[in-house]
Structure 1
Amino acid sequence: MANLNDFKVIKRKSAKSFKLLTEVMNINTDALDLTQIERLGFYLFIIEHITGVSDVFDVTDIVTDTEFNKLIFNNNFDDFGLDAIYINEDEKHIQLFNFKYRESFKVGKQSVNSTILSSKFINALTTENTSSLKGKIKIGAEDILKKLTSNDEYKITLYVVSNEEIEIKNKDAHLTLFEQSYGLEIVPIGLEEISQFVTLRPKPVHAELIVDNDAIMSFSESSISSSKSYILRLPLSEIVRITCDDHNLRASYSIEDLTPLSKVKIDISVLFDNVRGLVLKSKYNQNIYDSLKEDPSKFFMFNNGLTLTANDIKAESVNANKKVKISLNSIQVLNGGQSLRTIHSFNASDPNYLEDYLSNSEVLVRVFNTSKNSELNNKIAEYTNSQNSIANVDLKSLRSEQLSIEQFLNEHDIVYARKTGDTGLDDNKNYKHKISMEKFGQILISVYGMPDKATNQKKEIFNKYYDTLFVSDWFNIEDSPTYIEEYFQTKKEYEKTNFIASDQKLFYMMYLSTKLEMDIIKLINFLEKSIQSYQPLSNKNVTEARKLIQSQFKKYLDEQIALV
């Protein structure tokens, strides 16, 4: 159960998220009290974690809250109870947000009884008439309607988020109608789940267990190595025990009464090095959940298993050499984090599930002895996840060179967000910029000379082009702060003009700055003039965005550069 300390941590993280935004956008917050800062930062903090959007400017575009937009953009419109809208084109997922921020901590659940979304917004979607809406909320509603009336199948989720324990009661009639018509799913998120977002250096998690001889296989790197790793076949009830938040139960390897395990929760510290992080309501989670209940004895066949590391593993034969006792020191679950979360969720949903299902299900567990070797830990995390549907940028987030960039930029007061929700290595430092790992990769490939690939091939930045951009002699880490400062300064200057400051243009600006010795305004005019004068080979009218991803435009731009 979440407690007062969790509440305070979220308040602090929320305030820092907003202060990072105000530093980047040069916003004066003297007129705001601390509660306002925390509440507005809470929006940013939650949106980043749930959508995976890390760039500060991109997150602000998602927020539709009236107060937020009036302060940040001097744009005053009624949000009609909807605080944020995000459409994930890749996953065909429309995500809606309603926030409730509480200033003080209260024990116990708070019910969300009021209308979650105003009838005006719901009616705009159901009647396909947005004439009564204005500003971002109108643009968002129209975008949603385009998706819903297209041939693509979109999932719609409403996240009702509060920094308290919440439950949904007494749904509004319009909301119920919308649920039935469009398959809307409501996902309530309270303090306990939010506290799992927070990236803190975990306390060591130790565990002990006993396995049968036929359920264990040991291996080592060489015949003379004293360090051994193991492959185990474990009941899911044991998985619950060794990863639970009760250190006494984790040490109780001979436990016979499983009743106490039905009340435990996952110790989130074991997932600190997991590349996926928290994925809410994943379709894979539901598959795992279903297979546990429908055919627990075959779960071993249906699941890929878990990959764990430990700083130290001790194994000794017991019970007349018929069993093996294993002690695990500082365990981390590097692969199978979603399976582990779902197993714990399944266990918590019914006290009888532990005995009826989990004790009758088994899973394959690989436990590697990494002996405090963080580089080995990082490689295991990357390679054991590389065959799953995880973004390359996440797989590379634990690489040593990325950790070095994070440390170096921290010294220059820049947050390098390797993972979703990162707010810096030092909670007491005032950072001037925050850049996501993905955005920095796009900047690098642009400076390298391929701005046309920064957006339409951004997935390849952390795959095909990764070694060239981050590992080769071309990359000089000392240039990193300069690139980032230039990127943000260029964005500020671009937004002062009458031109649209898209990311694609900013990446081209980074490229142009390596080719022409001009000030930012002159470079902007040069780029805009080149965009307007460029004619595609097809002679068809295409948008600026389409022009900028064409290799022919890059070639044309280089020709214009040569004429200067």
Structure 2
Amino acid sequence: MANINDFKLIAAKSRRYFDLCSTTLGIEETIVDSLFDIQKERFGFYYYILEAITDLTEILDLTNLITDSEFNSIFFQKKAEDYGIDAVYIDEDEKEINLFNFKYREKFNKDKKQSINEVIISTKFINSLVNEDTNHLDGKLGEIAKNIIDKLINSKEVWKLVLYIVNNENIELSREEPNLKQLEDLYGLEIVPIGLSQVSELMSIRPESVSAKLILDKDAIMSYTESSISSSKSYIIRLSISDLIRITSNSEDLRNEYNIEDSKSISNVELDMAVLFDNIRGLILKSKFNINISKTLKEEPSKFFMYNNGLTLIASDIEVSEVNIGKKVKLYIKDFQVLNGGQTLRTIHDFNKQGDENLSNYLSKGEILVRIFKATEDVLKNKIAQFTNSQNAISIIDLKSLNPEQFQLEQYLDDHGIVYSRKNGDTGLSDAKKYDCKISMEKFGQILFSIKGFPEKASNQKKLIFDKYYDSLFGENNLIIEKASQYIKTYFQIKRIYDKDFEQYEGSDQKYFYILYLIYDLLLNDNIHEVIIIFESLLKEYTPNNPIGEARILIQVKFREYVEENANRFKVLL
């Protein structure tokens, strides 16, 4: 269970998110200064949780999800009732409609439990969806409701509706609570309560080192040495799931107690989140992979070794000695991290906590493959993480986040007041520093691709940017790192100028990429206002009566070629 220190850390992290969002969005200082600290923390809490659940990292994208009436009224002067729904995320790939109800408490109360009332409040909006009645819904929420109804009612696709009840209360609602089950059955949705304990798992603060001891049968371990003269060995082991729970628990005594006879001490332990600090994915609250893992643990625990890819650990040192007249092997794994298999590990611990009998009835019958590498150099650690992370379809972008040039960019941009988010949850290298803005690695790749001459591809070929085109953008001979901060700041300037000075035009990333292309590739002009006028004139001239819409025009090679051929003609007219 979480404690008051977790509560304080989340408050500090939420405030950090608020500071990043207010600077990135260019919110006026008078507005920021008028807010109470609790409001700043609450708004930052929205971003913190939404990034963790949706896996979106761009502040602009996350802002578009927020429907909370107070947030939109203060930041954007748009007043509309939110009917208990503070954010909405429609996942087109997974066919999920995710609704969020947030509450943020100012004071910690260890005995305070989440209230069912928050769920009931949110049913006002859900009733509108069920009854197909959006007449009373205004603004952003009204448009979202129409979109949701179209998907749920008019589409042939099967969509899942999920309601997240999120706050910083210490005790979460039980998902087995009868009232919750009744509401799920009534509305055909899944209700997911998230409280302080789960949120505290997201904290990305460099942890204390974790070490553990193991005793294995000799036939359960295999060693590997890179060369005959190398003294460094790595190991592949067959480990009981109960031992895995023990060595990754938050009890130092238990991690070193390898001859436990009473399994009850293991059935009540928590996962030490410190072992996942360097995990490639970052820590996320939602995973589509853990359902199958839980099912295997319960239905076929003895086959878990065959069905699961296992875990990859790195350690600063691995001490091995034979015991029991050579029949067994003792391991001391010093300062280890789980680089691959984090979702498997979390699911095993969650399954263990669901009932005291789960350890004896299921988990004790299962084993898992574990690879342990001795690695002290960062480059080697990153390569191990990159090449072993094939389970659960790790994205090419996640894998590239471990490349040396990405760490160099992170450090360089940090020195220039920019948070370069390589993975979920990044809020800067220093908690004491005030940053100007935050940008994801993915978005920066799109910016570089546009400046290289491909603005029409930047918005819809994101995966190829980090695959086929990666070396041409980020390679040692192609990336001019000293221009990175200039490119990023120009991107945000373009966005703000569109919002503030060109309200007659609809701004979009596709357009921002073209403006960057005109400024840095075609070297048209460094006056953003003039370049926007030229670009919008070209777009209007190219599509005077075109029915297919701007978005589809902007991804056409022919339009980009038209811009290239005609931009200077408009420049003369200014």
Give the TM interval when normalised to the shorter protein.
over 0.9
The aligned amino acid for 1:20 is L
Report the CA distance shift for 1:527/1:172 in structure 2 as closer, same or farther (over 3 A): farther
1:221 maps to 2:226: yes
1:374 maps to 2:382: no
Shift of 1:365: 0.8
Pick aligned residue for 2:510 from 498, 504, 515: 504
1:533 maps to 2:516: no
Q: What does residue 555 of structure 2 align with? A: 549
Report the CA distance shift for 1:132/1:177 in structure 2 as closer, same or farther (over 3 A): farther
**C-alpha distance in structure 1 between counterparts of 2:94 and 2:175, whole Å:** 30
Q: What does residue 524 of structure 1 align with? A: 532
Shift of 1:532: 2.1
Aligned pairs for 1:267-282 (under 5 A) are: 267-282=272-287
Shift of 1:369: 1.0
Report the CA distance shift for 1:118/1:271 in structure 2 as closer, same or farther (over 3 A): closer
Aligned pairs for 1:446-457 (under 5 A) are: 446-457=450-461
Pick aligned residue for 2:100 from 77, 97, 100: 97
Larger CA deviation: 518-527 vs 56-65 = 518-527
Larger CA deviation: 490-499 vs 235-244 = 490-499
Shift of 1:126: 0.6
The aligned amino acid for 1:479 is K
Pick aligned residue for 1:123 from 106, 118, 127: 127
Aligned pairs for 1:180-259 (under 5 A) are: 180=185, 183-259=188-264
Q: Secondary structure at the match of 1:368?
A: strand
Q: What does residue 35 of structure 2 align with? A: 32
The aligned amino acid for 2:226 is E
Aligned pairs for 1:144-159 (under 5 A) are: 144-148=148-152, 149-159=154-164
Equivalenced residue count is: 561
The aligned amino acid for 2:28 is I
**C-alpha distance in structure 1 between counterparts of 2:245 and 2:141, whole Å:** 44
Contact 1:119 1:174 survives alignment (8 Å): no
**C-alpha distance in structure 2 between counterparts of 1:395 and 1:353, whole Å:** 34
1:430 maps to 2:434: yes
Shift of 1:118: 4.3
Pick aligned residue for 1:479 from 478, 483, 488: 483
1:350 maps to 2:355: yes
Larger CA deviation: 277-286 vs 103-112 = 277-286
Report the CA distance shift for 1:118/1:238 in structure 2 as closer, same or farther (over 3 A): closer
Q: What does residue 9 of structure 1 align with? A: 9
Relative to the length of structure 2, the TM-score reads 0.94
- Structure 2: any 5+ residue segments left out of the alignment? none
Q: What does residue 469 of structure 2 align with? A: 465
Contact 2:180 2:191 survives alignment (8 Å): no
Report the CA distance shift for 1:545/1:289 in structure 2 as closer, same or farther (over 3 A): same
Q: Secondary structure at the match of 2:237?
A: strand
Pick aligned residue for 2:290 from 285, 303, 307: 285
Shift of 1:180: 3.5
Instruction: Kindly report structure 1 stretches of 4+ aligned residues shifted beyond 4 Å.
Output: 169-178
- Structure 1: any 5+ residue segments left out of the alignment? none
Q: What does residue 84 of structure 1 align with? A: 87
Report the CA distance shift for 1:115/1:56 in structure 2 as closer, same or farther (over 3 A): closer
Aligned alpha-carbon RMSD (Å): 2.1
Report the CA distance shift for 1:440/1:250 in structure 2 as closer, same or farther (over 3 A): same
Contact 1:112 1:166 survives alignment (8 Å): no
Larger CA deviation: 552-561 vs 54-63 = 552-561
Q: Secondary structure at the match of 1:110?
A: coil
The aligned amino acid for 2:10 is I
Contact 1:451 1:508 survives alignment (8 Å): yes
Report the CA distance shift for 1:173/1:210 in structure 2 as closer, same or farther (over 3 A): closer
Q: Secondary structure at the match of 1:363?
A: strand
**C-alpha distance in structure 2 between counterparts of 1:357 and 1:401, whole Å:** 45
The aligned amino acid for 2:297 is L
Report the CA distance shift for 1:388/1:463 in structure 2 as closer, same or farther (over 3 A): farther
The aligned amino acid for 2:525 is E
Larger CA deviation: 457-466 vs 110-119 = 110-119
The aligned amino acid for 2:529 is I
Shift of 1:170: 12
Contact 1:113 1:169 survives alignment (8 Å): no
Shift of 1:113: 2.6
Pick aligned residue for 1:295 from 300, 304, 315: 300
The aligned amino acid for 2:554 is L
Q: Secondary structure at the match of 2:325?
A: coil
The aligned amino acid for 1:107 is K
Shift of 1:108: 2.1
Q: What does residue 162 of structure 1 align with? A: 167
Q: Secondary structure at the match of 1:366?
A: strand
1:395 maps to 2:399: yes
Shift of 1:43: 1.0
Shift of 1:169: 7.8
Q: Percent identity?
A: 51
Larger CA deviation: 174-183 vs 148-157 = 174-183
Shift of 1:561: 3.0
Q: Secondary structure at the match of 1:434?
A: strand
Q: Secondary structure at the match of 2:48?
A: helix
**C-alpha distance in structure 1 between counterparts of 2:492 and 2:286, whole Å:** 35
Shift of 1:123: 2.3
Relative to the length of structure 1, the TM-score reads 0.96
**C-alpha distance in structure 2 between counterparts of 1:490 and 1:42, whole Å:** 27
The aligned amino acid for 1:530 is L
Shift of 1:387: 5.5
The aligned amino acid for 1:136 is K
Shift of 1:500: 0.8
Larger CA deviation: 140-149 vs 449-458 = 140-149
Shift of 1:474: 1.7
Report the CA distance shift for 1:429/1:518 in structure 2 as closer, same or farther (over 3 A): closer
**C-alpha distance in structure 1 between counterparts of 2:431 and 2:188, whole Å:** 41
